[in-house]
Chains A and B, each alone.
Chain A
Amino acid sequence: MAEHLLEVVDLTVKFGGLTAVNKFNIAVKRGTIHALIGPNGAGKSTTFNCISRFYQPTTGRVLLDGVDVTRMPASAMAGLGVARTFQNLELFGELTVFENVMIGAHVHAGRSWVEVLSARPPGVVEHVEHLLERTSLTAYRNTVARNLDFGHQKLLELARALAIRPRLLLLDEPAAGLRNREIAALDALLTDLCRREGITILLVEHVMQLVMAISDRVTVLNFGTKISEGTPDDVRNDPSVIEAYLGQEMAHA
């Protein structure tokens, strides 16, 4: 068991002549919440998509628990215990809340014919119901996903990702567009998932309120390069960060 559940080594991504990410390194410790922040266009989402295997990096490696997964197809990651959410929500819009989460449990339904063809694989349904309860979605069980309000859609994406029973949870801007009250609830849920269930979380986020409250470690990216890393306090007081990022935030506040 490697000390770091996730390691990204010398990651470089080029789109044509543009270098979106340049020799980027990050190591996420097991059982922690790690935030990746930076101004728009800094390369956060690109990095994120390389880790979840949706993009192929130009050079560099992604190690999961010490195992090189750089060549794995995206669809293999769920089986390895890596779940993700999407910045712009990618729900199964015409399907019910329940079905959405059931699809998340896809990798756990067993391989035998009976299990593959069973409508309600034992164990799976109970877990799905539990997750719905946990994300306060039980009342919306039979609602079609696209009819949910935005906040509940975000929660549904989280519930669906949790159905994978992840070791590593990758969250792409989980708080974007949420109201303060909803952010507070998310804050509590994520902390609980990490502290009580030992799920390691890597999140890309713009909402500083959430990042500073729950992160054990923060990495700051600007123009594809790491400019700072440390505890939330370290980062908050780093002059280069204030200049590149928090400075803008402060100016707005």
Chain B
Amino acid sequence: MSDKTATVIPASDTERPRLAAPEKMPVTQIALLAFVAAALVVLPFVVTGYVLYIANLLLVFIVLCLGLHLVIGETGQFALAHAAFYGIGIYSSGLAGNAFGWPFPLSMLLAGVVAGAVGVVIGTVALRMRDIYLALATFAFGEAMQWVFLNWDQVTGGPNGLRISPARLGDLEILTDRQAYPVVVFVTLLMIALTIVISRSRVGRSFRAVRESDVAAMAMGIPVRRAKITAFGLSAFYAGVAGSMFATFSTYIHPDSLGFQTTILALTMVVVGGLGSITGAVGGAIVFGLISEFLRQTPSYQEIIYGLILIVFMMYAPRGLFAFIRDQMGRITRG
């Protein structure tokens, strides 16, 4: 990720020419990764089922945020229909399990592919527009999808919601959050790895080129529209997978939770974490997911506090929590 870090360090640092650094991971980073790995392994043995449920939910949000990171952070396209693709993922995998008894890895793949395919179709139309028009068009699609979830009774159960039968693989049935946890962790790690590979590859580079200047991207031989649609479809794929992850530890889904608030929640996580970096997307999902969990006790203030956090971040840490911390630490170590 050394290529990426340069975009996150403060401007005052980058103004000085810097020589190519050897590409080695700093010790602190390795230590941090080891700590995270240990925490992930130890967690199910030391906490209650409820905490594991929260952990599963946070992991789902991480994947959701990674998708949003690809389309907004990397490609710079403000797509606001993430909850819809998330919903498509939940229903696809839920229905594949209910109706056909598919093993869950297969229904996960299905969820991602169905959401991704819908994403490509919507993206092909919506990405003719840009900026606020794109945001509004995708917002409208999101609202329309929520209406579909609410009214397509035969398939989604409509306002009664849909009961999801337990995820299964052969004789194995996932009945508790504790059982679902290793699956959810594994898929999350897989999706993080996929995001890193995409981001460092030519595909990620073409996304960033489109974000920075579509005119220059075109001159470099990048088919700009296709790059945008690819990013949009990929992000829908991620949202679909996130939906199917949710379905592995949930027994019930109601369309109420698939509206604009969910899109905004994911967007807030990505912005608070730091737009344009994978660490930001993952960290934002964890930090803001925890905050929103604590706020659950006071639902009437929840929205206000979200709004306040978002405003404060945009004013004082527009590049996100982690860039902010790094800046502050840099200031301290420099004296």
Contacts and interface: CB of A to CB of B under 8 A. Distances in A.
Interface residues of A, number: 44
Contacts of A86: 215-216, 219
A90 interface: yes
A104 interface: yes
A142 B18 contact: yes
Contacts, number: 119
Contacts of B276: 94
B146 interface: no
A92 to B, nearest CB: 4
A84 B217 CA distance: 11
Interface string A108-122: 010000011111010
Q: Name, among B208, B218, B224, the residue most crowded by chain A CB atoms within 10 Å (CB to CB).
A: B218
Nearest to B16: A143
A75 B222 contact: yes
B206 interface: yes
Contacts of B205: 99, 102-103, 106
Contacts of B170: none
A92 B6 contact: no
A52 interface: yes
Contacts of A115: 202
A164 B218 CA distance: 12
Nearest to A114: B201
Given A92-B212, A116-B202, A144 B219 contact: no
Contacts of B224: 75
Interface residues of B, number: 34
A83 interface: yes
A131 interface: no
Given A106-B205, A116-B201, A98 B3 contact: yes
B14 A95 contact: no
A139 B201 contact: no
A140 interface: yes
Contacts of A116: 201-203
Given A96-B7, A144-B14, A147-B11, A109 B202 contact: yes
Given A99-B208, A147-B15, A91 B216 contact: yes
A151 B96 CA distance: 59
Nearest to A76: B221
B6 A103 contact: no
Interface string B19-30: 111000000000
B182 interface: no
Interface string B204-243: 0110110011011111111110000000000000000000
B202 A73 contact: no
A143 B17 contact: yes
Contact of B223 (A75, A143, A161): A75
Interface of B: 3, 6-7, 11, 14-15, 17-21, 197-198, 200-203, 205-206, 208-209, 212-213, 215-224, 276
